Amino acid sequence: MSAAEEVEVVTEGQAVEAVPKRAMTLGYGTSLVVLAALILIPLFVKNFIIFQMTMLLIYGLAVMALNILTGGSGQFSLGQSAFYAVGAYTSAILMEHAGMNYALTLPIAGIVCFGFGFLFGQPALRLSGVYLALATFALATAMPQLLKLGYFEHWTGGVQGLVVTKPDAPFGLPLSQDMWLYYFTLVVTIAIYIASVNLLRSRSGRAFMAIRDNEIAASAMGVDVALYKTLAFGVSAGITGVAGGLGAIAVQFVAPDGYTIQLAISLFLGMVVGGVGWLPGSIVGSAFIIFVPNIAEGISKGLSGAVFGVLLFLVIFLVPHGARQVAIVAQQLAAKLKKN
Amino acid sequence: MELFANQVLAGIATGAIYACMALAVVMIYQAIDHLNFAQGEMAMFSTFVSWQLMQWGVPYWGAFVLTVAFSFAAGIVIERLLFKPLAKAPILTNVAGFIALYAIINSVAGLIWDFTIKQYPTPFGSSPFLGSQLISTHQAGMIGITLLMLVLLFFFFRFTRVGLAMRAAASLPESARLVGINTSWMIALGWGMASAIGSIAGMMIAPVVFLEPNMMLGVLIYGFAAAVLGGLTSPFGAVMGGFLVGIFENLVGTYIPGVGNELKLPIALALIIVVLVVKPAGLFGRAIVKRV
């Protein structure tokens, strides 16, 4: 129960609360149950729901990338949509202009975004807290206009965007396109999830967390603060880029107006709802940003934004640590029941 | 040379918009150390309120005064209800709160007044100012109002007890509490004032950009850029920053080929990043010294 106690030690003025390393992941048993559910459910549902689950995984990946940046190294970003867009465009351009295989475009999208994030991390180094939120906010609002630029129109398709062809299942597997894409996304997501967990448990991960908790102490202990902060930005952008590439393939379309500040805000909210610094919460946050707007629209069509905002306030006030808090409470309840 | 002078003049005219907004941004930053991402939406909502009052037959200046009073009260209510409980929460939670507020206000305004673009009246008329084609009487009036607000704020912070108490509460909260200042209410007052200034900015901007629920997004980014350029700690800097950003935007558009309206936001982005990297305190701000 150390996680619940640790939560109380939030000092005033800290950007992000400290999350102990063990509390960042799920136990093996729970992981297997979730994995089994993710593998089995698509076999029994309609294609549209499979598509939604694919998007759930993709946004989950993007939220997790932000979680590594914020929950891991304590830096903000309201500009994740920019990295997502760059990843999506890299994949789309490589597939449509260079005729490359969709699976091969993903690592390239990841590397391109890693570079972009690493470079953007350089000026971001000198900023913290609110200033960083502001700089990344400006990046996200500027991105659609940059993508629409006449100079790149030959490649990006300008305002029109690009249409991407959906891949068929390989080796003549008897799977529909949606189902194949879902399992493909699932494999990529699991691979990146495992890599991220390992990253956070490694020396680099400890360096991230040391910077998050106390930058000065971290540098006194020999952590290269500048390097690890930019590295966190790079890794986060890289993963977001892969998610963006997957998103382009799943939606079969990229256009500048698909990657506005709205997307960046959604990803940010997903992280808050899922619990900052708790990687499995990313999927909960992703579900929130995909399904809640629909529910909100169901409650009142014109007021969907307001309902969304009110729900968000409820989350902030009632469960400030997001899904992680719910999980901890559930765990405590289960332990109590076992004792009785 | 004449082209240059004209562009500078036109830049000052657009800069007045940003200066108004930047002033509101700096006010709230002074009071709570946060940038309020919902600031633009709050200003937009106030502007709609004044528009509605005028539709009901209230004369312009009556509506103006009522709206400023309403915004002041609304700012305080929002702070008391939503953000006072979050005062000790991490910055991240506060940012999420601002975003939620943004979504709520935008959506409610859209529901009440829908998303069609509306004309908004100006009290100054829109004929050319002093025979110049580049600057209209409305823009001249807007510059005048902005400077007037700046002077009033200066006198308020410099010469009144409440102004002094607010400065004390912002710079050293613990010591301020020890001498009997209610710092919590000073923050609420800061919200109210920022909201009131924002509403004036909104009413000045609306005749230029037209009234609709999304009118503030671009203006807010430029307001942030202006506030950052001038220094987030200085109201005077924010106004100067606004004018400078307006001039800069116009000159870049005139002299660098291929940069037009489509690059408006990337220019603001570049400006924000360059200023934050080269001179984080801004032109007129105090450098922040952190105790280790």
Q: What are phi and psi of B211, to 5 degrees?
A: -95, 120
For residue A319, the chain B residue with the least C-alpha distance is B93
How far apart CA B239 and CA A201 sit, in angstroms, is 48
Is the Cβ pair B225, A138 closer than 8 Å?
Answer: yes
Beta-carbon count within 10 A of B105 CB = 23
C-alpha pair distances (Å), B156 with each of A60, B166, B179? 50, 10, 20
Measured between beta carbons, the chain A residues lying within 8 angstroms of B272 are 134-135, 138
How far apart CA A134 and CA A295 sit, in angstroms, is 30
Is the Cβ pair B99, A145 closer than 8 Å?
Answer: no
Whether B6 maps to a domain, the answer reads no
Is the Cβ pair B95, A133 closer than 8 Å?
Answer: yes
Q: Note the pLDDT of residue B261.
A: 62
Mean pLDDT of successive 10-residue stretches along chain A, which has 340 residues: 36 55 64 78 79 89 90 84 91 83 87 90 73 81 78 72 74 76 88 89 88 85 86 91 90 83 84 82 86 76 76 82 77 78
Minimal CA separation from B156 to chain A, in Å: 27
Whether B288 maps to a domain, the answer reads no
A·B CB contacts under 8 A:
138
Measured between beta carbons, the chain A residues lying within 8 angstroms of B280 are 126-127, 131
Q: Note the pLDDT of residue A3.
A: 39
Q: Is B281 on the interface with A (CB under 8 A)?
A: no
State whether residue B119 is helix, strand or coil: coil
If you compute the radius of gyration of chain B from its CA atoms, what whole number of angstroms results? 19
| DSSP string over B131-187 | TEEEEEHHHHHHHHHHHHHHHHHHHHHHH-HHHHHHHHHHH-HHHHHHTT--HHHHH
The total number of structural domains that make up chain B: 1
Q: Indicate whether B280 pLDDT > 80.
A: no
Is the Cβ pair B93, A316 closer than 8 Å?
Answer: yes
Is the Cβ pair A76, B88 closer than 8 Å?
Answer: no
Quick one: which of B171, B282, B273 has its CA closest to B231? Answer: B282
**Exposed e or buried b for every residue in B65-93, given b needs 16+ CB within 10 A?**
eebbebbbebbbebbeebbeebeebbbbb
Whether B234 maps to a domain, the answer reads no
Question: Which of A14, A78, A126 comes nearest B280 by C-beta?
Answer: A126
Is the Cβ pair A146, B85 closer than 8 Å?
Answer: no
How far apart CA A238 and CA A245 sit, in angstroms, is 11
Question: Which of B102, B224, B263 comes nearest A134 by C-beta?
Answer: B224
Minimal CA separation from A81 to chain B, in Å: 15
Whether A67 contacts A193, CB under 8 Å? no
How far apart CA A122 and CA B187 sit, in angstroms, is 34
Q: Note the pLDDT of residue A332.
A: 80
Minimal CA separation from B259 to chain A, in Å: 10
Where do the domains of chain A lie, and which CATH numbers do they carry? 2-9+21-339 (1.10.3470)
Q: Is B58 on the interface with A (CB under 8 A)?
A: no
- pLDDT over 90, % of chain B: 10
How far apart CA B107 and CA A304 sit, in angstroms, is 7
For residue B97, the chain A residue with the least C-alpha distance is A313
Question: Residue A131 is which amino acid?
Answer: Y
Q: Note the pLDDT of residue A11.
A: 38
Q: Note the pLDDT of residue A171.
A: 74
The DSSP element (H or E) to which B128 belongs, if any, is: strand B128-129
Q: Looking at residues B133-147, what average pLDDT do you find?
A: 81
Per-residue pLDDT of A78-93, as tens digits, reads 888 999 999 999 888 8
Q: Note the pLDDT of residue B259.
A: 63
Is the Cβ pair A303, B217 closer than 8 Å?
Answer: no
Q: Note the pLDDT of residue B282.
A: 76
Whether B224 maps to a domain, the answer reads no
Q: Note the pLDDT of residue A1.
A: 35
**Exposed e or buried b for every residue in B15-39, given b needs 16+ CB within 10 A?**
bbbbbbbbbbbbbbbbbbebbbbbb
In terms of residues, how long is chain B?
A: 292
Per-residue pLDDT of B176-198, as tens digits, reads 888 888 888 888 888 898 899 88
Q: Indicate whether B267 pLDDT > 70.
A: yes
For tokens 């950007």, name the residue: A15
H helix intervals, A275-321: 281-299, 304-318
Whether B44 maps to a domain, the answer reads yes
Q: Note the pLDDT of residue B291.
A: 62
Measured between beta carbons, the chain A residues lying within 8 angstroms of B90 are 10, 14-17
Q: Looking at residues B158-164, what average pLDDT do you find?
A: 87
How far apart CA A308 and CA A205 sit, in angstroms, is 34
Whether B200 maps to a domain, the answer reads yes
Provide ipTM, 2 decimals.
0.77
Minimal CA separation from B248 to chain A, in Å: 17
Q: Note the pLDDT of residue A242.
A: 93
Q: Is B101 on the interface with A (CB under 8 A)?
A: yes
Is the Cβ pair A12, B88 closer than 8 Å?
Answer: yes
Quick one: which of A71, A72, A41 has its CA closest to A54? Answer: A41
Measured between beta carbons, the chain B residues lying within 8 angstroms of A259 are none
For residue A322, the chain B residue with the least C-alpha distance is B93
Quick one: which of A47, A64, A100 has its CA closest to A250? Answer: A47
Restricting to B residues 123-142, those with a Cβ less than 8 Å away from any Cβ of A are none
Is the Cβ pair B96, A320 closer than 8 Å?
Answer: no
Question: Which of B35, B88, B217 comes nearest A134 by C-beta?
Answer: B35
Measured between beta carbons, the chain B residues lying within 8 angstroms of A141 are 217, 221, 265, 269
Instruction: Look up the domain containing B24 and give its range.
Output: 19-215
Q: Note the pLDDT of residue A236.
A: 92
Is the Cβ pair A306, B107 closer than 8 Å?
Answer: yes
Is the Cβ pair A129, B91 closer than 8 Å?
Answer: yes
Per-residue pLDDT of B10-63, as tens digits, reads 788 888 888 888 888 888 787 777 778 888 889 999 999 999 999 888 888 999
Whether B56 maps to a domain, the answer reads yes
For residue B265, the chain A residue with the least C-alpha distance is A142
Tokens read off for B188: 């609420």
